[in-house]
Structure 1
Amino acid sequence: MLKHLLDYNEGEEFDLTLLVKNSQLRQDKKGKHYLLLQLADKSGAVRANYWQAEPEDAKRFETGTIVEVAGLLEDYQGRDQIKIFSIHPVSASENVDVSQLVAGAPEGEKQMRREIGQFVAEIKEENWHKLVKYLLKKWDARFFSYPAGKSNHHAYEGGLAYHTLTMLKDARGLADNYPAVNRSLLYAGCILHDMGKVLELSGPVQTKYTAEGNLIGHLVLIDEQLVLAAQALGIDQESEDLLLLRHMVLSHHGKYEYGSPKLPALLEAELLHRIDDLDAAVNAITRELGATKPGDFTLPLSSQDGQRYYRPKKEYQ
């Protein structure tokens, strides 16, 4: 049986082909360079320090590089860390099954398609329904395979669709509790808000930002796609229907400093921002807790202003 990274126990040596999920060139207190790496396969990711690094190694082991690693798992502050014996990039001529290097969403694609389709059916406003269906069809393959991010949250194959689905489930509860919420607009916003990432990111394997992603960003990219879709569908460019949906996607980061060109000015836009922020936070915290031993704290989470989270010793009911 093929063993993956997280199948190994502490102190157990391994020799595996892994993916560099994240790579940062740093300096220790003595001014010597080292690489802080996150190495991964389909079972998950583990932190590692490459102490013998030279500045040029930042390019050799950049994010997205496939590497051959010999090492062992050891405990560091209550979580697994890789002690590297040797590491080198895998050449393009070597046959690597990249499907073994990429983690997948907790739910299968078929199930996510079915559930998201049910939410689409509940969008009663005709133009919003048409726009959502049009863009889902246009970007179908990418939407259900791409991650929702490069490294921060839902950074795995199918992560974009899974993030969308969990947000829709949260949105359903809010719409049930608050009659003032326009369910159709909120659902449409949830489905479309991050769809620009199919253009911002390169894909689920060796994920990088595209030129469009770096220069424009997913909020503006999906706004552009909405305008083009409206043109293709014959929807009036001046209609309030289109205006409201464009506002939803353009304001969903919630604050100017978070990259939103506009602040939420609709009840549904405010809820979309908060649902998005909540789901991203829960995903990031849960991921770190899963890599932390009971009775210990996570490492500081940059996405949560450096906060550390405690994993209780007991599995409570």
Structure 2
Amino acid sequence: MLKRLLDYNEGEEFDLVLMVKNSQLRQDKRGKHYLLMQLADSSGSIRANYWQAQAEDASRFNAGTVVEASGMIEDYHNHDQIKLFSIHPVSPDDQVDLSQLVATAPEKPAEIEKEIKDFVAQIDNKNWHDLVDFLLKKWSSRFFAYPAGKSNHHAYKGGLAFHTLTMLKDARGLADNYPAVNRSLLYAGCILHDMGKVLELSGPVATQYTAEGNLVGHLVLIDEQLMLAAQELKIDLASEDLLLLRHMVLSHHGRYEYGSPKLPALLEAELLHRIDDLDAAVNAITTELSTTKPGEFTPPLMSQDGRRYYRPRQER
């Protein structure tokens, strides 16, 4: 079996076809240009510095560029980094299997889809069920393929659906423990809360924000989709059912400074915000810990207010 990028250990050399996940043109203390890059394949990504860069290399090695790179894995502040020997874009004539260059969700897409649809079937309020079912079918091809974000959490192919499924499982446990929770409303909110990202993001490969994503954002985009779906399904636009579901998606970031136009004002909306925040945090932390050596700390995680997390020497 061919080794992938994250299969190589410190001191090992490699020659691989990789994808530029992101790159930034910077200057060192002497004023010379270099590219700070993340090179990736389906196993994950590792930081690399291209010291011989010229200003025009920023466009040669932008996000999504497929490259052939040779180098060695080295230690940088207790984390892996690539020491590049050479790097050049792969010719468009070369047939490259992009599926081998993009990280994917840890569960098979068909299984994720089946499990989410099982939760849809448990939504017993007809209006909520019909709205969720309609929008899930409308955006199915994107919803089950897109990442949940560009970089912060679940930033891999199928990440949006996997994040949604994990939240639904958390929601099920909370609804089991707290009888006051409206299970149908919470499930509907979990499925819809990030669905606007199918319009906010460009796709699973070299993910960027679309014009709609930058100018409107996924909370407002899914609210618009809800209204359009309600019109098509002939659901009363003034109904409380629609009002509650709109509140769920619009308030799920939990704070004004995080982009929500309203704070959670329903028990289910409060739970949705906390479940979303919890799953995003767990994913971000475990992703960093997976590339951190035992007995060391992760780099500061911006999504966690710059905190660093420790990986114990003895793990179960």
TM over 0.5: yes
1:285 aligns with 2:285: yes
Gaps of 5+ in 2: none
Tell whether the 8 Å contact from 1:64 to 1:208 is kept in structure 2 after alignment.
Answer: no
1:192 aligns with 2:195: no
AA partner of residue 166 (structure 2): T
What is the distance in 2 between the residues matched to 1:22 and 1:170? 32
Alpha-carbon offset, residue 92 of structure 1: 2.6
Alpha-carbon offset, residue 93 of structure 1: 2.7
1:19 aligns with 2:13: no
AA partner of residue 88 (structure 1): H
AA partner of residue 188 (structure 1): A
What does residue range 109-148 of structure 1 map to in structure 2 within 5 Å? 109-148=109-148
What is the distance in 1 between the residues matched to 2:52 and 2:306? 27
1:166 aligns with 2:171: no
After TM superposition, the score normalised by the length of structure 2 is: 0.96
The aligned counterpart of 1:312 is: 312
What SS does the aligned partner of 1:75 have?
A: strand
What is the distance in 1 between the residues matched to 2:53 and 2:249? 42
What is the distance in 1 between the residues matched to 2:251 and 2:198? 19
Alpha-carbon offset, residue 3 of structure 1: 2.3
The aligned counterpart of 2:50 is: 50
AA partner of residue 104 (structure 1): T
Tell whether the 8 Å contact from 1:21 to 1:151 is kept in structure 2 after alignment.
Answer: no
Alpha-carbon offset, residue 17 of structure 1: 1.3
What is the distance in 2 between the residues matched to 1:40 and 1:50? 15
Alpha-carbon offset, residue 238 of structure 1: 0.7
What SS does the aligned partner of 2:164 have?
A: helix
Alpha-carbon offset, residue 9 of structure 1: 2.3
Alpha-carbon offset, residue 94 of structure 1: 2.4
The aligned counterpart of 2:71 is: 71
What is the distance in 1 between the residues matched to 2:224 and 2:170? 27
The aligned counterpart of 1:35 is: 35
Tell whether the 8 Å contact from 1:146 to 1:159 is kept in structure 2 after alignment.
Answer: yes
Alpha-carbon offset, residue 31 of structure 1: 3.9
Tell whether the 8 Å contact from 1:132 to 1:188 is kept in structure 2 after alignment.
Answer: yes
What does residue range 153-302 of structure 1 map to in structure 2 within 5 Å? 153-302=153-302
Alpha-carbon offset, residue 285 of structure 1: 0.5
What is the distance in 1 between the residues matched to 2:225 and 2:302? 31
The aligned counterpart of 2:93 is: 93
AA partner of residue 306 (structure 1): G
Gaps of 5+ in 1: none
What SS does the aligned partner of 2:220 have?
A: helix
Alpha-carbon offset, residue 166 of structure 1: 0.4
Quick one: structure 1 residues 257 and 26, their matched pair in 2 at CA, closer, same or farther if it must change by over 3 Å? farther
What SS does the aligned partner of 2:289 have?
A: helix
Instruction: Point out the more displaced range, 122-131 or 30-39.
Output: 30-39
What is the distance in 2 between the residues matched to 1:30 and 1:57? 18
What is the distance in 1 between the residues matched to 2:206 and 2:134? 28
What is the distance in 2 between the residues matched to 1:31 and 1:300? 27
What is the distance in 2 between the residues matched to 1:81 and 1:251? 39
What is the distance in 1 between the residues matched to 2:22 and 2:283? 18
* Identical residues among aligned pairs (%): 78
What is the distance in 2 between the residues matched to 1:311 and 1:16? 29
What SS does the aligned partner of 2:88 have?
A: strand
Quick one: structure 1 residues 25 and 257, their matched pair in 2 at CA, closer, same or farther if it must change by over 3 Å? farther
Quick one: structure 1 residues 63 and 121, their matched pair in 2 at CA, closer, same or farther if it must change by over 3 Å? same
What is the distance in 1 between the residues matched to 2:231 and 2:194? 21
The aligned counterpart of 1:80 is: 80
AA partner of residue 216 (structure 1): V
For the aligned residues, what is the CA RMSD?
Answer: 1.4
Alpha-carbon offset, residue 64 of structure 1: 2.1
AA partner of residue 185 (structure 1): L
1:3 aligns with 2:6: no
